[in-house]
Structure 1
Amino acid sequence: MTRLVPGQATDAASLPAPFVPLDPDLVVSGTPTTRFVDLDETSHRTVGVWEHTPGVSTDVEADEVFVVLAGDATLTFDGEDAPAPLTLAPGVIVRLSEGMRTTWTVRETLRKVYISP
């Protein structure tokens, strides 16, 4: 489904999508929910918006690059050679690789635009 139209703007802050609870196995603390909207898909990539409400959750990542639009969070990585924790705030750009194990500590609802292959 393509929601991005060439030559037209899309407001990433007001896209309609319901929040859904996370799988309880992924929740470390709080009652975080997430939502996402895929905006544009081709055979080579997907562009979308994702949000995570306050709380702490774990995930296993896909390949993606994202830009934080709003919120306040810390992203930590698990593993022997894990990168240092990242502070996520508006304007921060992050590259994730498939299989990275992460913990998202969200203090203020995090909204990001992502691009994944």
Structure 2
Amino acid sequence: MTELLPESANRVAHARTAIVSLDPVPADEVVSGAPRQGIKELGSIAGAEAGIWELRGGTVVDTEADELFVVLSGEASIELLDEGHTVDVKAGDVMRLVAGTRTRWVVPDHIRKVYLTPSAE
């Protein structure tokens, strides 16, 4: 996958309009709907990976990685299953997710976010 913002260049990425290829969410993660998701790598900086993630049309479950994200467009209700409460996010919101948190993402239309997460190295 080609990074939009490689370490060796001063560049800009138009994250709200970048093409993110969407694929069906694996069946074991789907709660309802026919959700599709995709990731576009931005690059890495100071031991963190950055990317754009988009989810469309449905409800899915996930176990999170340690992550900080900014919502660019759309909205979601994120049920924090182990904590027993829900956080609603929309464009402009910033959220931290702790590794291992089990979540249920309810996305009526779409959500697009830019995320930072520790490199897998």
- Using the size of structure 2 for normalisation, the TM-score is 0.87
- The one-character-per-residue Cα deviations of 1:24-49 (angstroms, maximum 9, x if unpaired) are 01100000010011101246110100
Cα drift, residue 15 of structure 1: 2.0
In 2, the alpha carbon distance for the partners of 1:42 and 1:27 equals 32
Cα drift, residue 107 of structure 1: 1.2
In 2, the alpha carbon distance for the partners of 1:51 and 1:2 equals 16
- The one-character-per-residue Cα deviations of 1:37-85 (angstroms, maximum 9, x if unpaired) are 1101246110100000021000000000000010021001112xx1631
Partner of 1:49: 52
In 1, the alpha carbon distance for the partners of 2:57 and 2:3 equals 29
Partner of 1:40: 43
In 2, the alpha carbon distance for the partners of 1:36 and 1:96 equals 17
Partner amino acid for 2:56? T
In 1, the alpha carbon distance for the partners of 2:17 and 2:66 equals 25
Partner amino acid for 1:105? V
Matched, 1:26 2:68: no
In 2, the alpha carbon distance for the partners of 1:3 and 1:56 equals 28
In 2, the alpha carbon distance for the partners of 1:53 and 1:33 equals 5
Q: How does 1:38-117 map to 2 (within 5 A)?
A: 38-42=41-45, 44-79=47-82, 82=83, 84-117=85-118
Higher strand share: 2
RMSD: 1.6
The alignment covers a number of residue pairs equal to 115
- Report sequence identity in percent: 33
- Using the size of structure 1 for normalisation, the TM-score is 0.90
